[in-house]
Chain A
């Protein structure tokens, strides 16, 4: 029962939505809107589930005084404080930059997010240095292509050689795009096949394991 009900729902809804795709009738479109609304409602509950999981995990860590439990106190305090501050600000909080929630957003979330993204620049450098070695034919082609594209996409590359931007664009728009399209085809077909297996109940990983 625990498995057969979700599998039946999956089968029925999978077939219904497949049929819906081919029908432009307002009844079909209305059905799509209704299903989308339900999906949004259900995914809203995931937020509650997420918060609950986070609180449970960290309170367990604090209770058992596992390594790093001090950080769990920080996490839970930050969660509670931000939620309370945001709730107190109300729905028109965009209007007032002085509100604490906006101060937290502008001065903590924005710089932290941008900083984490900036780490990528350094990681790209160290990953490139380590990985771009001409060990064999394929690696050499990869290396030369990387040089061409790196120098072709910056303005000063044009100063070194006029041809960098042109050949870089060629490489990106023709062979690179062709290869990407091949991968996209494969991914799309794999998605269809996996979806069919899920609808038919052959693939049951999403149920959490077991037969």
Chain B
């Protein structure tokens, strides 16, 4: 007959299905109830996100466009798509033109959706306020090529229209004509390729939005000035949305802010489960002795 498990042993060996269920509840409830508990603690936005915001904001004075490189695919959409929307809305609110391209083939669909959504929200026009270059294979060849001549790398935009037909592209011929580049990066290729080819060779001003896992790797580049800020993970995206809110920009949705409560509660739940597991582990172990 199997030995009955003590309470402490049970706590040390909770069935993983119960762990999954706990996490599911803790994630779903705050998303449905929209508690908004995380907004106040995030009011003091981190310096790194603020740096990116200020750089994009300054483009309204120079009239130079913002270039966004969508270097992620649907898998990383949760963390990086809110950043894309927040950046596009900021640019739209300040009337800054935007050029969007992607180094990942699966990401361009997400980029196009975002451009169209924000375009509708702010009445932005293709060819004048934004140009969608699409995806091109080649990574280093693409970035280096754009450093010399964007139209040579992208003779037409992603929808098939010749690039020289767009009024925006009459004054944007190469990377030097772009005011600021943001690479929303989930891996390779990503911000490192932009640093290597665009920033070091053409001295392009740039920043990056990355997944939370990768963010720490990008910090040294901020220290050296090669990156002018980082938007890290969903929290970074939420901080950018807060900056948009504080500046009074219209935002049809704030997915990152909305998800912060769920993320916070999930972290607390994991910490609690780990504590319970350790308590059960130690007490059961002691009792065995």
Contacts and interface: CB of A to CB of B under 8 A. Distances in A.
Direct contact of A and B (CB under 8 A): yes
Interface of A: 33, 36-37, 40, 91-92, 94-95, 102, 105-106, 109-114, 116-118, 121-122, 124-126, 128-130, 132-134, 143, 146-147, 150-151, 153-159, 172-173, 176-177, 180
Interface string B155-183: 00011100000000000000000000000
A133 B276 CA distance: 10
Nearest to A126: B16
Contact of A129 (B24, B235, B277): B277
Contacts of A125: 19-20, 22-23, 266, 269-270, 273
B7 interface: no
Contacts of B216: 172-173, 176-177, 180
Contacts of A176: 216
Contacts of B22: 125
Contacts of B238: 155
- Dominant secondary structure of chain B at its interface with chain A: helix
B78 interface: yes
A133 B278 contact: yes
Nearest to A117: B75
B227 to A, nearest CB: 14
B124 interface: no
A95 B260 contact: no
B193 interface: no
Contact of B106 (A113, A118, A128, A172): A113
Contact of A156 (B77, B134, B265, B281): B265
B267 interface: yes
Given A92-B160, A113-B77, A125-B23, 7 more contacts: A94-B109, A112-B74, A121-B23, A121-B27, A130-B16, A155-B37, A156-B41
A90 B281 CA distance: 60
Contact of A177 (B160, B220, B260, B274): B220
Given A110-B77, A173-B219, A132 B23 contact: no
Nearest to B37: A156
A150 B74 contact: no
B94 interface: no
B57 interface: no
B271 A109 contact: no
B109 A110 contact: yes
A150 B158 contact: no
27 contacts: A36-B141, A92-B160, A95-B160, A102-B109, A106-B113, A111-B74, A113-B75, A117-B78, A122-B20, A122-B24, A125-B22, A125-B270, A129-B277, A134-B278, A143-B278, A150-B270, A150-B271, A153-B212, A153-B267, A154-B38, A155-B41, A155-B260, A159-B37, A172-B219, A176-B216, A177-B219, A180-B216
Interface of B: 14, 16, 19-20, 22-24, 27, 37-39, 41-42, 73-78, 106, 108-110, 112-113, 132, 134, 137-138, 140-141, 158-160, 212, 216-217, 219-220, 233, 235, 238, 260-261, 263-271, 273-274, 277-278, 281-282
Given A155-B41, A156-B38, A156-B261, A114 B74 contact: yes
A158 B159 contact: no
A10 B192 CA distance: 27
Contacts of A40: 137-138, 141
- Dominant secondary structure of chain A at its interface with chain B: helix
A137 to B, nearest CB: 15
A1 B71 CA distance: 42
Contacts of B38: 154-156
Given A132-B278, A143-B278, A94 B159 contact: yes
B125 to A, nearest CB: 15
A151 to B, nearest CB: 6
Contact of B78 (A33, A118, A143): A118
A147 to B, nearest CB: 6
A113 B159 CA distance: 24
A157 B267 contact: yes
A180 B217 contact: yes
Nearest to A173: B219
Contacts of A121: 23, 27, 266
